[in-house]
Amino acid sequence: MTNYTKFPYWRCHIGLTIEFNKNKYSWCSGTAEDKKYLLISAYCNSAAKIYVGKLGKWFSLEEFKTLLI
């Protein structure tokens, strides 16, 4: 996971961007391993929303987890 203080627009077309608040973002490549980690860990439990670059859409944490199941 890579951390940013602003939304990483240069990476938004690929991977996953997790927004914790307006000044804290995290980006990952969105591989199967990354998705599995996000599903079972507590890493993104405090996330406000998650941007899925492949779909070009923001999701709430609950919506994101239903996508992975």
Cβ burial of 47 (10 Å; 0-12, 13-18, 19+) is buried
Confidence of residue 53 (pLDDT cuts 50, 70, 90): very high
Better pLDDT: 23 or 69 = 23
Is 0.75 topped by the overall pTM? yes
As given in the structure block, the two tokens for residue 69 are 């199941």
Q: CA gyration radius for the chain?
A: 11
